[in-house]
């Protein structure tokens, strides 16, 4: 298990319904948001999802038995119940809900439920008639009265062919609701944060463009962490395949010039600007209206004249009044040296550097490892999921912002 103090620790209970097949996706969603997850399966859950799949995505051994001597020796169930910052049960079947509501502790998951003092979230999943049954509704009400947060269920077509309430809400919605609800200190309460994320595309003709491997994940994770810390977040996103975290205003752009326009328009209203986007430094000098034909190109080598794009973060940081400005630097050699120089040259309050020569971090990977450099010092954050990096950076940025007399 991770030892990072800031990662939230989640016990993910999985009971035996068809929606259990989505549990690995939920683990991934929680981990992306920086959580350390230990899956706990009921006996029936193992019929729908394998321990192997869960172990692979959670990077923690799933727990199934109260009487597993080896697992208990490593961490006893009471210790596990204390370890958790939150218990999430998804899917929660009608049977499990009934056992929880009545305090029956006849397996590991129900015992952990009684033994924990952490907040508990359940995502019910069952047939519509079972959900609407008076007994289930009574049990749900009892759990609500006991302080359990009930997420969903969603309306829609069910695995059994019926239609109505009973489907488990999507893993991403569960992860968002849980991470937003648990213990993020509201260090950015009342601030407005503008963030850029993802790559830009610089078109040569209608089908060809210059771009890079940025997935947007680090920027989106930062937007979510800032929102959880109480900020009002605007996210200017290049072309990425990520859905918008709830409660965040998103502006989609394609080219560096579109990104610059979107940022320039919104920067005067922002307290903090974080430039995570991998903005293309150059664009083709000429953009052709029609797809270039091979015959139109010179034989042999084909040369494209490029024009420099304006530096977005530099243009914001160089003009007063301005928000508190944090840039990123993707370096492949001497990362600290180049980043220190970049921070000074672009007049940024702080810069976050990642060594992108390491394929396991940075561009298009789930983890990152960074150093935050500011006028008063440097903070290194070792390799961890981008969600955890984002939470740590939000803490650091909030402290710098406050000590700059801005907060
Ligand atoms: O999106 P992911 O797959 O999660 O990957 C994350 C990341 C590797 C893209 C991210 O962590 C990162 O390093 N972002 C900055 C990438 C980059 O373009 O670095 P740079 O050293 O070229 O630029 C320095 C700074 O100037 C950056 O803040 C950049 O946003 C900004 N810039 C660059 C060029 C330009 N025309 N305008 C800018 O504002």
Atom of ligand 1 nearest to the CA of 314: 39
The percentage of the chain sitting over the pLDDT mark of 70, rounded to a whole number, equals: 97
* Cα separation, 208 vs 291, whole angstroms: 8
Q: How confident is the model at residue 115 (pLDDT cuts 50, 70, 90)?
A: very high
Instruction: Answer whether residue 5 shows pLDDT above 60.
Output: no
pTM for the model: 0.67
173 Cα–ligand 1 center, Å? 28
196 Cα–ligand 1 center, Å? 9
| Contact indicator for 60, 46 with CB cutoff of 8 Å | no
Domain boundaries, the chain: 8-183, 192-287+299-403
* Cα separation, 82 vs 44, whole angstroms: 25
pLDDT of residue 147: 87
Per the annotation, the verdict on 347 as an active-site residue is: no
Q: Is 212 in the pocket of ligand 1 (CB under 6 A)?
A: no
Q: Is 220 in the pocket of ligand 1 (CB under 6 A)?
A: no
From the candidates 160, 287, 319, 360, which is the catalytic residue? Answer: 160
Q: How far is CA 49 from CA 18, 91, 99, 357, in A?
A: 9, 12, 21, 36
CB burial of residue 363 (10 Å; 0-12, 13-18, 19+) = middle
The percentage of the chain sitting over the pLDDT mark of 90, rounded to a whole number, equals: 75
**pLDDT per residue as tens digits for the range 347-386:** 999 999 999 999 999 999 989 999 999 999 999 999 988 9
Instruction: Answer whether residue 399 shows pLDDT above 60.
Output: yes
Average pLDDT over residues 53-64: 95
pLDDT of residue 176: 86
pLDDT of residue 58: 95
Regarding predicted confidence, which is higher, 66 or 239? 239
pLDDT of residue 299: 66
Q: Is 60 in the pocket of ligand 1 (CB under 6 A)?
A: no
237 Cα–ligand 1 center, Å? 12
Instruction: Answer whether residue 3 shows pLDDT above 50.
Output: no
- Which residue's alpha carbon is at the smallest distance from atom 31 of ligand 1? 313
Place of tokens 């803490």: 395
218 Cα–ligand 1 center, Å? 10
Q: Is 169 in the pocket of ligand 1 (CB under 6 A)?
A: no
In this structure, the number of other CB atoms found within 10 A of the CB of residue 308 comes to 9
Average pLDDT over residues 24-51: 93
Residue-averaged pLDDT of the chain: 92
| Candidate from 279, 360, 390, 393 with most ligand 1 atoms within 8 A of CB, to mutate | 279
Who's near 68: CB < 8 A, 6+ residues apart? none
Average pLDDT over residues 225-254: 92
**Top-level CATH class of 192-287+299-403?**
alpha beta
Atom of ligand 1 nearest to the CA of 278: 18
pLDDT of residue 328: 98
Identical fold for domains 8-183 and 192-287+299-403, yes or no, is: yes
pLDDT of residue 296: 65
Instruction: Answer whether residue 297 shows pLDDT above 70.
Output: no
Q: How confident is the model at residue 4 (pLDDT cuts 50, 70, 90)?
A: very low
Q: Is 327 in the pocket of ligand 1 (CB under 6 A)?
A: yes
pLDDT of residue 277: 98
**pLDDT per residue as tens digits for the range 89-98:** 999 999 999 9
- Which residue's alpha carbon is at the smallest distance from atom 5 of ligand 1? 363
Regarding predicted confidence, which is higher, 294 or 65? 65
What are the strands, taking DSSP E only, across 145-301? Answer: 149-150, 154-157, 163-167, 192-197, 202-205, 208-210, 232-237, 249-252, 272-275, 282-284
278 Cα–ligand 1 center, Å? 4
Atom of ligand 1 nearest to the CA of 356: 8
Average pLDDT over residues 190-212: 97
| Candidate from 329, 346, 364 with most ligand 1 atoms within 8 A of CB, to mutate | 329
191 Cα–ligand 1 center, Å? 23
Average pLDDT over residues 387-397: 91
**Paired tokens of 153:** 């269920």
**pLDDT per residue as tens digits for the range 124-170:** 999 999 999 999 999 999 999 898 999 999 998 887 888 889 999 99
Place of tokens 């569960």: 174
In this structure, the number of other CB atoms found within 10 A of the CB of residue 130 comes to 17
pLDDT of residue 407: 67
Q: Is 202 in the pocket of ligand 1 (CB under 6 A)?
A: no
State which CATH number among 3.20.20.70, 1.10.10.10, 3.40.50.1950, 3.40.50.1100 fits the domain covering 8-183.
3.40.50.1950
Going by their DSSP bridges, the two strands 377-385 and 367-374 should be labelled as: antiparallel
385 Cα–ligand 1 center, Å? 18
């Amino acid at each position: 298990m991770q030892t990072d103090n800031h990662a939230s620790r989640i016990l993910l209970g999985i009971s035996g319904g068809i929606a259990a097949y989505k549990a690995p996706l939920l683990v991934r969603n929680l981990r992306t948001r920086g959580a350390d997850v230990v899956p706990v399966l009921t006996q029936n859950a193992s019929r729908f999802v394998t321990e192997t799949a869960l172990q692979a995505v959670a990077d923690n051994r799933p727990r199934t038995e109260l009487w597993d001597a080896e697992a208990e020796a490593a961490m006893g169930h009471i210790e596990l119940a204390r370890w958790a910052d939150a218990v999430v049960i998804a899917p929660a079947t009608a049977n499990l809900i009934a056992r929880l509501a009545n305090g029956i502790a006849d397996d590991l998951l129900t015992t952990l439920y009684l033994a924990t003092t952490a907040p508990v979230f359940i995502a019910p999943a069952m047939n519509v008639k079972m959900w609407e049954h008076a007994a289930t509704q009574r049990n749900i009400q009892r759990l609500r009265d006991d302080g359990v947060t009930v997420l969903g269920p969603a309306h829609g077509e069910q695995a059994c062919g019926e239609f109505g309430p009973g489907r488990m809400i999507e893993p991403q919605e569960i992860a968002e609701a849980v991470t937003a609800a648990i213990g993020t200190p509201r260090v950015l309460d009342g601030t407005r944060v503008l963030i850029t994320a993802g790559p830009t595309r610089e078109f040569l003709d209608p089908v060809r463009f210059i771009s890079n491997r940025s997935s947007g994940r680090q920027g989106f994770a930062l937007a979510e962490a800032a929102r959880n810390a109480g900020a009002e977040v605007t996210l200017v996103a290049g072309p990425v395949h990520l859905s918008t975290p709830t409660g965040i205003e998103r502006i989609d752009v394609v080219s560096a010039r579109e990104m610059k326009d979107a940022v320039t328009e919104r920067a005067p209203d922002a307290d903090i600007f974080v430039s995570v986007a991998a903005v293309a430094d150059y664009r083709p000098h000429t953009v052709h209206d029609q797809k270039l034909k091979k015959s139109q190109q010179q034989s042999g080598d084909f040369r494209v004249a490029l024009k420099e794009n304006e530096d977005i973060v530099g243009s914001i940081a160089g003009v007063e009044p301005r928000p508190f400005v944090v840039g990123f630097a993707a370096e492949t050699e001497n990362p600290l040296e180049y980043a220190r120089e970049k921070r000074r040259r672009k007049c940024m309050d702080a810069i976050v550097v990642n060594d992108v020569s390491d394929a396991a971090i940075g561009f298009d990977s789930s983890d990152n490892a960074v150093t935050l450099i500011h006028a008063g010092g440097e903070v290194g954050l070792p390799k961890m999921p981008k969600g955890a990096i984002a939470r740590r950076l939000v803490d650091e940025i909030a402290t710098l912002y406050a000590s700059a007399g801005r907060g």
